[in-house]
Amino acid sequence: MVTPRRPRLTPARALPVAHLPPPVPTEALVRAAREGHPRAFHELVRRFRPRIRALALQLTANQSDADDVAQDVFLRAWEQLRNFEGRSAFFTWIYRIAVNRALQVRARAASRPTIDPNDPRITLAVAADGDRHPHHAIELRERYGQLLWAFDQLSPLLRTTVALTTLQGLSHPEAAAVLNCPEGTIAWRMHEARAKLRDALARCNTSPLDAALPRRAVRSGDRDPHTLSLAWALAAAFQS
């Protein structure tokens, strides 16, 4: 018995492609949530929680605190949503709540006098880069620990500015809107932060450009705040 030959899928005979509906604009979800539709607010949480949780981890250096901050941020957002007048973007408003809450939590915690090898941010950094540099895993952990120790020595404003622009990928105008300051202030803070980071690392007798660090370039469009660790972003910033 001869098996019939499978026909080729020419353009005329190709299977139809299912086109997914476009995502609902954030502004429409906010309007619906303000009118009391919980499903619209749940979609806002799904859309923004990964970034808010990542920012909270960057600023608190503690996974449990980051989870608590993310939960608290959206509880406060739901309670205060009727007061949101739309004068700024929703993400700007939610980021402000997250920054303020994360800094409050961090201020109550004792500052770390030494490098913590169990810092979850270090674990994320090594996991992101260790697969390509397995023989450097130990050195990466040490260098990333030094980077994060230096980062944690910055003032809250400088730490927040670096986290928003370097890891979260916000532009200077966007970061200025979140922090409610002029755009030029963001540029000045980044300049100050780099200088202070270099000074702190010099005291550790190390450099963010040490040979142990990966050398691949990270373009702005390649940054994924859901997966990119703060330590890697700091290292990439020094290589730019």
The mean pLDDT of 83-106, rounded to a whole number, is: 90
Q: Residue 179: pLDDT band by 50, 70, 90 thresholds?
A: very high
Most confident by average pLDDT, 10-14, 96-100, 104-108, 231-235: 96-100
Does any domain span residue 9? no
Structure confidence at residue 92 (pLDDT): 92
State whether 129 and 164 are in the same domain: yes
State whether 119 and 238 are in the same domain: yes
Does any domain span residue 42? yes
Q: Longest Cα pair distance anywhere in the chain, in angstroms?
A: 81
Q: Which of 62, 93, 110 is the last residue of a domain?
A: 110
State whether 93 and 40 are in the same domain: yes
Does any domain span residue 216? yes
**Which tops the pLDDT comparison, 236 or 219?**
236
pTM of the model: 0.74
Residue 5 C-beta-side C-alpha neighbours within 13 Å: 3
Structure confidence at residue 226 (pLDDT): 45
Contact 159, 152 (CB under 8 A): yes
Nearest-10 Cα torsion for 33, 36, 38, 41? 20
Does any domain span residue 8? no
Q: Is the pLDDT of residue 90 over 60?
A: yes
Structure confidence at residue 210 (pLDDT): 47
Q: Which residue has the tokens 């939610």?
A: 94
Does any domain span residue 16? no
Structure confidence at residue 93 (pLDDT): 94
Q: Is the pLDDT of residue 217 over 80?
A: no
In terms of residue numbers, what domain contains 198?
113-240
Q: Give 36-40's long-range contacts (Cβ < 8 A, gap of 24+).
A: none
How many residues would you count in the chain? 240
State whether 103 and 118 are in the same domain: no
Q: Residue 71: pLDDT band by 50, 70, 90 thresholds?
A: very high
State whether 125 and 146 are in the same domain: yes
Q: Which of 55, 90, 110 is the last residue of a domain?
A: 110
Beta-carbon contacts of 142 under 8 Å, excluding residues fewer than 6 positions away, are 212
- Report the CATH number that the domain containing residue 104 is assigned in CATH: 1.10.1740.10
- Report the CATH number that the domain containing residue 189 is assigned in CATH: 1.10.10.10
Structure confidence at residue 19 (pLDDT): 61
| Tens-place pLDDT, residues 4-56 | 555 554 544 555 555 656 788 889 999 999 988 999 999 999 999 999 998 99
Does any domain span residue 238? yes
Rounded to whole angstroms, how far apart are CA atoms 30 and 128? Answer: 34
Rounded to whole angstroms, how far apart are CA atoms 117 and 123? Answer: 9
State whether 105 and 119 are in the same domain: no
State whether 66 and 127 are in the same domain: no
State whether 179 and 240 are in the same domain: yes
**Count of structural domains within the chain:** 2
* Two tokens, residue 98: 């997250």
Does any domain span residue 84? yes
Q: Which of 48, 79, 110 is the last residue of a domain?
A: 110
State whether 118 and 57 are in the same domain: no
State whether 87 and 195 are in the same domain: no
Least confident of 32-41, 177-186, 205-214, 215-224: 215-224
State whether 228 and 144 are in the same domain: yes
Residue type (1 letter), 177: A
Q: Which residue has the tokens 């600023």?
A: 59
State whether 235 and 117 are in the same domain: yes
Does any domain span residue 67? yes
